[in-house]
Amino acid sequence: MSQTTQPAHTDDPEYAANLRRATLASSVGSALEYFDFALYGLSSALIFNTLFFSNLDPAMGVVAAFASFGVGFAACPLGGLFFGTIGDRLGRKWVLVVTILLMGGATTLIGVLPTYEQIGIWAPVLLTVLRLLQGFGAGAEQAGATVLMAEYSPVRRRGFFSSLPFIGIQLGTLLAAVVFSFLSSLPEDVFLGWAWRVPFLLSFVLILVALFIRMRLRETPTFIELEKHDQIAQRPIREIFTKGLAGVTVGVGLRMAENGGSYMFQNLALAFVATTGTSAFIANPVDRGVATWGVTLGSLIGMAVIPLTGHLSDRFGRRAVYRFGSVFMLLYTFPAWWLLSLGDPAVVVAVIAIGIGVAVNTMLGPQCAMLPELFGNRHRYLGVAMAREISAVLAGGLAGVLGAYLLATSGGDWLLPAIYMATLALITTASTFLVPETQGRDLLRFEDAVNVSGSEGSDERTEAHAFATARR
């Protein structure tokens, strides 16, 4: 199938308007999701152990707080399975409306929760329930944004355009870090009394903005073609666990370093260098407000790195850019965690900023187009959701709780989280050798990229060829 079956003319006024709407709708949703996740992660690292797990030893309170963070990741695959199936059967737009309501609503309600001192064990129970709801909604939110943009983007610049909404990830993380840095500078009794609730309540504003934009959004061109020719998969779950299983497996491997590394630098590193209750993991703990500036600067760097690496993937291929990022993280891991253990504030900020801004986001840039390109049109939403969310459990969900446990049981030995992060980077690097080059792939194809042997030339038209013929 020729690439002309994909939207390609940004000078067409109607297409350009739809592309702008899709970019804005995806960006706001990404900002809200990562504002929520970054906010919860920062809180897990610095305050939830005191407010919701005050009955535990301070170090184990951090482990418990990260465990509550991790259960949200456990709900993500279920949300991805549920909403991904709906997205492949009913369309991308309405799923994105529902997920933003569920995800943002749960985050807002965290801002009104009573603490352990007020209602005892019910405080961490309710916190965990809301985290589960947050994860269930987030399970298809980012996958939907990824698929939406890839299906709207012009083929030759798909890497660049698909990466633009992911600047929203950096904006959300940046907003959470800035707000948290400001609030954490307040007196302790004010910060732990009411001020910590403010950023959670602010999620309500982002919900309203996202809803307004998404209600005006049109369905993607590729899904419209499936509807027009009655080619929508009636059993996308069966397809994804038969035809799509290889793509999901490779996609999971690709995200281990990007997702796990992101949460280790954003959350675990802060818990490692900052004072935890009355104890600390390192000899010279850094003020928590200073440490969060590393996340802030990393997000600012990421706002440039993501579209840059997306653009580079359009020129040099997705695999080459992705592999560069995973190898960079592998080489960066051990010196980074050793430098964090020294407790120098400026060094801590620089290490976290480079880890997030360069190591993680060099992989995220090409990933925005690469994951949708891995899957065929009939089960693309579900495939991307499964790849993203299974990896979120195995990498991001375990990063905090396992890393905190390793630190707590080893007395703060920096080598253990370094080995853990290096392992994630090795898995992702190996995965880049298992995935075919997907740059410029026609998204109307039914076959997954990993299931196509050899060239994707004219001898591989099969179902997609008949689809294109009918379309013309």
15-471 CATH: 1.20.1250.20
Question: In this predicted structure, which of 33-47, 116-130, 285-299 has the lowest mean pLDDT?
Answer: 33-47
Check whether 465 has a pLDDT greater than 60. Answer: no
pLDDT digits (tens, 9 = 90+) for 121-135: 888 888 888 888 888
Confidence band for 279, pLDDT divided at 50, 70 and 90: low
Bridge partners (DSSP) of residue 276 are 279
- Measured from the Cβ of residue 418, the count of other Cβ atoms closer than 10 Å reads 19
Check whether 468 has a pLDDT greater than 50. Answer: no
**pLDDT score at 463:** 41
**pLDDT score at 4:** 39
- DSSP-assigned states of every residue in 109-134: HHTT---HHHHTTHHHHHHHHHHHHH
**Percentage above 90 pLDDT, the chain:** 24
Question: Ramachandran region of residue 317, left (φ > 0), alpha (ψ -120 to 50) or beta?
Answer: left
Q: Closest Cα partner for 139 from 387, 361, 366, 360?
A: 387
pTM for this prediction = 0.77
Check whether 146 has a pLDDT greater than 50. Answer: yes
**pLDDT score at 399:** 76
Q: Averaged over 276-286, what is the pLDDT?
A: 66
Bridge partners (DSSP) of residue 185 are none
**pLDDT score at 276:** 52
Q: Averaged over 100-118, what is the pLDDT?
A: 86
- Name the DSSP letter for residue 283: S
List of E strands, 200-243: none
Q: What is the mean pLDDT of the chain?
A: 81
Q: Averaged over 240-265, what is the pLDDT?
A: 90
Contact yes or no for 30/168 (Cβ under 8 A): yes
pLDDT digits (tens, 9 = 90+) for 301-350: 999 999 999 999 999 999 999 999 999 999 999 999 999 999 899 999 99
- 282 — phi, psi (to 5°)? -120, 165
Confidence band for 255, pLDDT divided at 50, 70 and 90: very high
Check whether 254 has a pLDDT greater than 80. Answer: yes
Between 280 and 133, whose confidence is greater?
133
Dist CA 185 CA 398 (whole Å): 29
**pLDDT score at 461:** 38
Task: Write the CB contacts of 190 (distance below 8 Å, at least 6 apart in sequence).
Answer: none
**pLDDT score at 218:** 74
- The domains of the chain are located at 15-471
